[in-house]
Amino acid sequence: MSETVQKLSTRHLLGIKDLTTRDIELIFETADTFKDVLNRPIKKVPSLRDITIANIFFENSTRTRLSFELAQKRLSADIVNFAASSSSVSKGETLIDTVNNILAMKVDMIVMRHPYPGAGVFLSRHVNAQIVNAGDGAHEHPTQALLDAFSIREKYGDVAGKKVAIIGDILHSRVALSNILCLQKLGAEVMVCGPTTLIPKHIGSLGVKVEHDLLTALNWCDVANMLRIQLERQDIKYFPSLREYSMLYGLNKRILDSLDKEITVMHPGPINRGVEITSDVADSKQSIILDQVENGVAIRMAVLYLLAGQAS
């Protein structure tokens, strides 16, 4: 890393909408450097040696929490892990009280996942620490969008001009909104595809194409980002059955091989194999799903490193 650290335009990472295109490019350039670090025999750098980061997860998470934790360890940060289910939150403590108690222990940065949209924004106005949003309800998931766009850039050399179809449960997905905003800022064309009941009513106002036929979307796109059905967020039935959804919107090898061109398949995880995507597609050479996981650590290292530079 050079001595003069370029800075992000924002003190927190609350959502893609707060980032400029230059911010995103800076995160990608920094992630390129960290990806080289991750491929070395000694995968650790002392960049955040005196920084303490609290991971506060009010919702279940496996990949995101592990990815952030690994990124923090690779940067030599000190880590405090907090799971809401086993904390005083279950006794009625408020979000601000919880976080202020953690900050009283001299924590510099907070990585938070919360079931309510806007929780990170609310927190950033009330506590004196840098906040990284690791997902807030069905609102945003900025680091996932950054790693998805970074993976497209790695595959094609550039994101600009690429056609990306986001397919599945758009209505309940925080990944969809962050991806739309990130891809558009980088010059990609975006289409959303899914059943009418799972497409938000006014999503066209974001400047995306809307399609309800899977084959039309797949023939249009260069990249298909397959989203899972978020059953845990659905309070009513949005389609008759998973089997019917899979028949109409599930991507299998037969469909993939029937397309006019070779497309790239992505998935933010966790995968429901046999529903939105079959195993032979998920494990095919056209899939970059495991590349996304690998890139997630480099992207989160870049975000934490750049935000820590803001505080100095």
- What span, in angstroms and rounded, lies between the C-alpha atoms of 199 and 133? 24
| CA 112 – CA 114 distance, rounded (Å) | 6
Q: In terms of Cα–Cα distance, which of 116, 19, 102 is closest to 53?
A: 102
CB atoms within 10 A of CB 87: 14
Burial degree of 139 (CB within 10 A; 0-12, 13-18, 19+)? buried
Q: Is 228 annotated as a binding residue?
A: yes
Does 91 show up as a binding residue in the annotation?
Answer: yes
Q: Is residue 40 marked as binding?
A: no
CB atoms within 10 A of CB 54: 20
Is 234 annotated in some ligand binding site? no
Query: By C-alpha distance, which of 289, 245, 296, 249 is closest to 271?
Result: 289
CB atoms within 10 A of CB 125: 9
212 is in an annotated binding site: no
**43 labelled as ligand-binding?**
no
The HSE-up count of residue 278 (CA atoms within 13 Å, CB side) is 13
Q: What is the rounded CA–CA span in Å between residue 99 and residue 144?
A: 24
Q: Is the peptide bond before 270 cis (omega within 30 degrees of 0)?
A: yes
What CA dihedral angle connects 110, 112, 118 and 124, to 10 degrees? -10
**Residue ranges at the known binding site:** 63-64, 91, 113, 141, 144, 174, 228, 269-270
**Residue ranges at the known binding site for L-aspartate:** 91, 174, 228
**Residue ranges at the known binding site for carbamoyl phosphate:** 63-64, 113, 141, 144, 269-270
